[in-house]
Amino acid sequence: MVKLPPDENGFERSVSWESHERVLAERRAADEERARQQPPRWVRRLSLSDVQGRREEYWVNANIPAPPVWWEPKALGRLPLPRRH
Helix and strand counts by DSSP (H, E) for the chain: 1, 4
Please give the C-alpha separations between residue 76 and each of 47, 73, 79, 80, in angstroms, as whole numbers.
21, 9, 7, 11
CA 2 to chain centre: 24
Beta-strand ranges (E) seen in the chain are: 2-3, 14-15, 42-46, 57-61
Residue with the larger pLDDT of the pair 32 and 71: 32
More confident position, 76 or 4: 4
What is the per-residue pLDDT for 80? 74
Structural domain spans, the chain: 12-61
Bigger pLDDT: 49 vs 32: 32
Average pLDDT estimate for 37-55: 84
